[in-house]
Amino acid sequence: MANGNDALSINFNNGFGTITNAWNIDTSVPGQVTLAGVSAMMEWATGPSSGHGYGTYTVEAKLTGNQPGPAIVMWPGDNHWPGQEMDLVELLPNGGGQQYATVHWDNGGDSYVGKIFDSVTPNAWHEYQMVWEPGRITINVDGKTQATFTDHVPVDYAHGGMNNTIGFLNTNDNTSITVSQVDYVPLGGSVATPSVTALLTSVVHTTESKVNALGEPLLANGNIDWDTLAATVMANYYATGQWHL
């Protein structure tokens, strides 16, 4: 069972970290996991203190398909449903691959509110982030705020409520979700330092279309420009305290 006060960083190069309640998971590509068909992986939800509380949750993932099926789920720590569930991303049933986020609560049944994302490219890698704080949940995609919830925001275990566990689901043979990185930083806490392998895993998903602050491409002639890449990562670290491109 994860400690909700601890920072977390998982890159799937050496197992599943704390997300070990898993079945039907494809691990054939180093540094990532894919859920297709009916499959799931979650942290174990064994009671209100299971999982994590207020803080920032960041996931590098790709959802494929244009039907409901894949989801990034913050599942109730007590494993009771309907209940306190927060979903960073799901797919709408409109056939367009459009994505949205939801907050669920138990009102004698499953009650929820959803908010549709604006202009998020389907079938592509994105950084999904949820900031859970007292009275507010903010969902960011690739650094842009896509949804904000201020009603029915749950209270975490440390403040008299319940934590949530990190999970991923797929429930459709025509969809899938692939995940390469999972991070959690508690509210007011410090970042778990990523490994070099985690940084390199991120590179293969983000480098091709990116340039640094000077407009210099990070991918030159089909090869990663490692000098430019290293300089960009270090500049971002000194500016923000975080390791990212």
pLDDT of residue 194 exceeding 90: no
- For 106-160, write each residue's pLDDT tens digit: 999 999 999 999 999 999 999 999 999 999 999 999 999 999 999 999 999 999 9
* The predicted structure's pLDDT at residue 86: 98
This prediction has a pTM of 0.78
- For 20-48, write each residue's pLDDT tens digit: 999 999 999 999 999 999 999 999 999 99
**Domain 8-186, classified CATH 2.30.30.40, yes or no:** no
SS3 137: strand
What secondary structure letter does DSSP report for 52? B
CA distance 44 to 241: 31
> Could you state, in order of their start, the residue ranges of all structural domains in the chain?
8-186, 207-240
* The predicted structure's pLDDT at residue 90: 98
